[in-house]
């Protein structure tokens, strides 16, 4: 004859942890890449995405340099990006565009995350027998992308504009731009000033 | 009361715990103010990454860089003659799921001197081991067929 027993602490410990772990794996809100990012499929949402005033952001992103030498400026930009450990992706001298990217480690899985068992956290590529992709995904989120453009303002001045994206969003804080231009100024031996 | 109904509150507690666990750390990280600031470590290895060779032909210098990268098993991704930039990548030993990317720039230092700067990144971490750069410059020197001593530029 089976006697029904009340909930003992043994039963509790036997069931609670597996349920919690399986539940965490199922509910794991940090795992799918999409869940941590805004869904940008709505064009209207994209248009209103910018939170700061565009004029203010543009002023932070732009500096005027008193030199007509585009070539030297582009070289200084490349040197600066090398100083920042960036990888140059696009370089067009004629159009005056330099694009680069770098990864920063900010995110870490904060608890046991089953999806990370597959990867070593410091690698960008994982290969299995039937699946091949870039990962782990949190490194992709930590991607910093930047584009620097150089254009002539007048015969003796150049305008340099840097725009940075981090976590798929435009960086609107002026401080990173100030630091970028400080490094660039050191590389080009000139002082940049804000557009009047 | 059967065993299943008896365990329902437990499942509930487990799921609640799971929810609390899984909601941690889901927010997008804040932009660090030093996102675009050069690090001190980078400033230290800058001189290791730079070397000058007595050369006058810029085109030959860039071709030398490409040849040395090919010697080291890299695939050239981008080469720009005007600005003297070469980027290349390869899978790294011993696992071959790690990626090494390298950016090399060539700059005319003086009339008879070319300055080369190499930046290597292992996955997402910059390489700061001087030996790696020494090896690269040794390969570059071989590729350039230079016999004279190279001097690290300051």
One-character DSSP codes across B67-132: HHHHHTT-EEEEEETTTTEEEEEEEETTTSSEEEEEEEEEEEEETTEEEEEEEEEETTEE---HHH
For helices B40-49 and B130-143, the axis angle rounded to 10 degrees is 30
pLDDT level of residue B37 (50, 70, 90 thresholds): confident
**Residue B104 and residue A115 in contact, taking contact as beta carbons nearer than 8 Å:** no
Report CA-CA distances (Å) from B130 to A37, A78, B47, B85, B120: 39, 22, 10, 21, 11
Does residue A134 surpass a pLDDT of 60? no
Check whether B22 has a pLDDT greater than 70.
Answer: no
Nearest CA-CA partner of A76 in A180, A154, A2: A180
Q: How confident is the model at residue B34 (pLDDT cuts 50, 70, 90)?
A: confident
**pLDDT: which is higher, A151 or B4:** A151
> What is the per-residue pLDDT for A17?
73
Predicted confidence (pLDDT) at residue B111 exceeds the cutoff of 80: yes
Are residues B98 and A135 in contact, defined by beta-carbon separation less than 8 angstroms? no
- For range A179-194, the mean pLDDT: 87
Give B 97-136 residues with CB within 8 A of chain A: 97-99, 101, 103, 105, 107, 117, 119, 121, 123-126
Any idea which of A36-45, A63-72, B35-44, B138-147 has the lowest mean pLDDT?
A36-45
B78 touches chain A (CB under 8 A): yes
Kindly identify which residue of chain B lies nearest to residue A38, measuring between CA atoms. Answer: B28
pLDDT in tens, A158-178: 999 999 988 777 888 899 999
Higher pLDDT, A26 or B97: B97
Dist CA B119 CA A65 (whole Å): 27
Residue B148's pLDDT band, with cuts at 50, 70 and 90, is very low
Collapsed DSSP state (helix, strand, coil) of residue B148: coil
pLDDT over threshold 90, residue B132: yes
- Per-residue pLDDT at A35 exceeds 60: no
What's the average model confidence in pLDDT over A72-99? Answer: 92
* ipTM score: 0.70
Nearest-neighbour CA in chain A from B22: distance (Å): 5
**Contact with chain A for residue B19, Cβ under 8 A:** yes
Residue B91's Cβ-side half-sphere holds a number of Cα atoms within 13 Å equal to 7
CA contacts within 13 A on the Cβ side of A95: 8
% of residues, chain B, pLDDT over 90: 38
Is residue A91 a contact partner of residue A97, using CB atoms and an 8 Å limit? Answer: yes
The CA-based dihedral angle spanning residues B73, B78, B81, B85, taken in that order and rounded to the nearest 10 degrees: -80
The whole-number pLDDT of residue B97 equals: 72
Burial class (CB in 10 A: 0-12, 13-18, 19+), B92: middle
Query: How confident is residue B25, by pLDDT bands cut at 50, 70 and 90?
Result: very low
Residue A34: is it exposed, middle or buried by C-beta count within 10 angstroms (0-12/13-18/19+)?
exposed
Q: How confident is the model at residue A73 (pLDDT cuts 50, 70, 90)?
A: very high
With an 8 Å Cβ cutoff, are A180 and B121 in contact? no
Q: Is A85 left (phi over 0), alpha (psi -120 to 50) or beta?
A: left
Rounded average pLDDT over A8-13: 66
Residue in A30, A167, A179 nearest the CB of B36: A179
Nearest CA in chain A to B80: A91
Using alpha carbons, select from B24, B27, B6 the residue that is nearest to residue A24.
B24
DSSP secondary structure letter of residue B51: E
Q: Is residue A30 scored above 90 in pLDDT?
A: no
């Amino acid at each position: 004859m089976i006697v029904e027993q009340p909930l003992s602490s043994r039963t509790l410990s036997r069931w609670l942890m597996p349920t919690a772990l399986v539940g965490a794996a199922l509910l794991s809100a940090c795992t799918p890449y999409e869940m941590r990012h805004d869904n940008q499929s709505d064009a209207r949402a994209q248009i209103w995405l910018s939170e700061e005033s565009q004029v203010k952001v543009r002023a932070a992103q732009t500096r005027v340099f008193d030199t007509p030498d585009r070539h030297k400026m582009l070289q200084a930009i490349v040197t600066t990006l090398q100083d920042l450990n960036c990888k140059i992706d696009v370089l067009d001298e004629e159009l005056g565009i330099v694009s680069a990217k770098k990864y920063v480690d900010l995110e870490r899985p904060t608890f046991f995350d089953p999806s990370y068992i597959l990867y070593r956290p410091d690698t960008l590529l994982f290969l299995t027998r039937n699946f091949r992709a870039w990962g782990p995904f949190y490194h992709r989120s930590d991607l910093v992308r930047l584009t620097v453009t150089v254009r002539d303002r007048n015969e003796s001045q150049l305008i340099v504009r840097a725009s940075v994206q981090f976590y798929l969003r435009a960086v609107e804080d002026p401080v990173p731009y100030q630091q970028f231009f400080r490094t660039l100024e050191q590389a080009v031996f000139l002082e940049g000033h804000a557009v009047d | 009361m059967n065993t299943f109904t008896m365990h329902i509150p437990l499942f509930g507690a487990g799921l609640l715990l799971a929810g609390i666990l899984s909601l941690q750390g889901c927010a997008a990280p804040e932009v660090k103010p030093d996102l675009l600031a050069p690090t001190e470590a980078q400033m230290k290895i800058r001189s290791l990454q730079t070397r000058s060779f007595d050369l006058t032909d810029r085109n030959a210098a860039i071709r030398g860089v490409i040849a040395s990268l090919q010697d080291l098993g890299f695939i050239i991704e981008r080469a720009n003659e005007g600005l003297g930039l070469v980027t290349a990548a390869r899978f790294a030993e011993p696992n071959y799921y790690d990626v090494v990317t390298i950016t090399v720039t060539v700059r005319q230092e003086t009339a008879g001197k070319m300055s080369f700067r190499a930046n290597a990144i292992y996955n997402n971490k910059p390489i700061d081991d001087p030996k790696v750069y020494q090896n690269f410059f040794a390969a570059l020197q071989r590729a350039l067929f230079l016999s004279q001593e190279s001097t690290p530029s300051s």
